[in-house]
Chains A and B, each alone.
Chain A
Amino acid sequence: GQQLNQSPQSMFIQEGEDVSMNCTSSSIFNTWLWYKQDPGEGPVLLIALYKAGELTSNGRLTAQFGITRKDSFLNISASIPSDVGIYFCAGRGNSGGSNYKLTFGKGTLLTVNP
């Protein structure tokens, strides 16, 4: 089955620093999604990627769909305290019945020190 490896598991950074996190897959995906989850809330979509090589920005966030279609990256520039939370990658499969599965990484816990 599809597996996603997300790294790092956690990050502790100073306000103003840039952040990078990534996900790799054992199989090809045709959609990559990045989410942020605040405590007690459901995940909220940050960025959606649909094509290999695609680079998309949402304010200080930038995400890329890897050329191999097996990885994706999320960068946050000039972090601020409200960036604190858990970030998840998710991939949607590319073959047969698994095309409808949406598989999640285990998350990256981001802590920003003011």
Chain B
Amino acid sequence: NAGVTQTPKFQVLKTGQSMTLQCAQDMNHNSMYWYRQDPGMGLRLIYYSASEGTTDKGEVPNGYNVSRLNKREFSLRLESAAPSQTSVYFCASLGSRAFFGQGTRLTVV
């Protein structure tokens, strides 16, 4: 009954470092999403995966890559972090309704 689980909850990176944000859902949903949330900007779609084996760019994909490892897991990777990627990241999973993880607060210094 976990719903959508995101890790880590907090992360500080230096410019140029890489990291992967993990997301897993236990609701057997086909569609999964990664958003970033910045003050005054709402939730902006980075990448989404309509089903296992497919991924598509969203509104702000530059600087990110994703992997839909299996139906449960959808990871977001920053290959070379930049200060502009400081944000709160949310993973979501969609069946008839969309459910969100608790978020990852990322700071790039």
A binding-site residues for B, Cβ under 8 Å: 1, 6, 33, 35, 40-45, 48, 50, 88, 90, 92, 97, 100-107
Contacts and interface: CB of A to CB of B under 8 A. Distances in A.
B45 interface: yes
Contact of B102 (A6, A42, A103): A42
26 contacts: A6-B42, A35-B100, A41-B102, A42-B4, A42-B90, A42-B100, A42-B101, A42-B102, A42-B103, A43-B90, A43-B100, A44-B100, A45-B99, A48-B96, A48-B97, A90-B43, A92-B94, A97-B50, A100-B31, A100-B48, A102-B48, A102-B92, A104-B44, A105-B42, A106-B40, A106-B41
Interface of B: 4, 31, 33, 35, 40-45, 48, 50, 56, 58-59, 90, 92, 94, 96-103
A87 to B, nearest CB: 11
Contact of A41 (B50, B94, B103): B103
Given A88-B43, A104-B42, A45 B59 contact: no
Contacts of B94: 92, 100, 102
Contact of B43 (A40, A43, A45): A43
Contacts of B35: 104
A102 B90 CA distance: 13
A6 B44 CA distance: 14
A97 B31 CA distance: 12
Nearest to A90: B98
Contacts of A1: 59
